[in-house]
Structure 1
Amino acid sequence: MQAKPKRVQTKKILSILAELYPDAHCELDFRNPFELLIATMLSAQSTDKQVNKVTKNLFAELPHPQDYILLTEEEIATYIRGLGLYRNKSKSIKKTCTLLMEKYNGEVPKNRAALEALPGVGRKTANVVLSNAFGVPALAVDTHVQRVANRLALADSDKPLETEQQLMRKIPRSEWTDTHHRIIFHGRRICAARNPKCSTCPLLPFCWYGKNMRM
């Protein structure tokens, strides 16, 4: 396999992604920043479809941080049992909701440092909340963004933070959030981890991975 090119037609790739997915958006269901925060915390090692199925009832019965504080970790776990790592997630949710009530009057903070200080909240989750709940440009790197960005040679790293930093240098800040969603859509619909649809992918002429895989 040939080495990744040093120069990539970033503008063309972004243009094609925009044409393919003009309505790309966060596929987690939420009505406010708190619900997005919890849904994103739950999404680790789970699909958005699975999370949405669980949060439909969860948010109907427990819409506010105060509601979780009144429950034990075991009781919270019963609501999210269908998701991966649900026991660990219930602990993080309980601790996070406690901090939200103690420090922020039940509101989700709007800055990265405060978000990342919450139990169970890492950089990816903070980026998702900042961009989708508060309109702050951010480029969250999940497994889809990590995979697709590297296949397209928009990034060259197996570390999410480095991938994020490389993407931010190449993509205009105003396009970070939309590009994040479009890359995820592409990863879910065409550029799958296994058996990607390279032969029918509109990005194939610009894709380092796809052209090498076809050789």
Structure 2
Amino acid sequence: MHLFEYNFEHDTSIKMPTYTKFLSLIKQGKFTTSKGLIKVTSKDESWNAGVMALPAYVVNLLPDVYALTEQFYPATLHKTCEQYAFSLVLKNASELHPCDSYVYHYWEHGQKITADSLFNKLFTSSFKQLSLVEKEAKVCVLAKQLPGLLEGHILLLRDRALQAFSHDQFSEGYRYAWKVLKKEPFNVQFVRDLLYHAKRHLKIR
């Protein structure tokens, strides 16, 4: 799978009702699969499912992935339940290995918007006129640059600042906010958002 993300107990301070419901649900401990009951605890792992390379025998495990997803999701409405089900079933049946050194997978909202904007600049009408070899060469150049371009892009920095603030991770929020302000100090909407969260931080303290 793409990479190891966290144990289910990784951050109980995250104010996500669906995640809190999931933690409460797995305290029940055991869930039904085609092979009987399996135990799920807060020590179990979530692996990012944005990239998966699976051997053929995994097709026989899919009923168990479906079974766990159907037990997790209705009780929690947590959008990552299918990923959790894959992580648990595959971990129990085999070894999981990360593939992030081979595939650059981006999934955050800010990353998606930023990548779309970069690819839209590449895929112009003149790009369509290039030969296949020329197209591949240009795409390869952008693909190699993409990780660095995403990490420093203003859209991603803004999104990470606001995401951190929304989870009450104020130190991280201020760190990203400072990077945003250095790049665009006169973004009125972002300054308003920053002031809102700063006032909220003062009230919490």
| TM-score past 0.5 threshold | no
TM-score if structure 2 supplies the norm length?
A: 0.31
Name the one with the larger strand percent.
Answer: 2
Structure 1 length-normalised TM:
0.30
In our comparison, the structure showing a higher alpha carbon Rg is 2
Task: Tell me which of the two structures has the higher relative contact order, counting C-alpha pairs closer than 8 angstroms and 6 or more residues apart.
Answer: 1
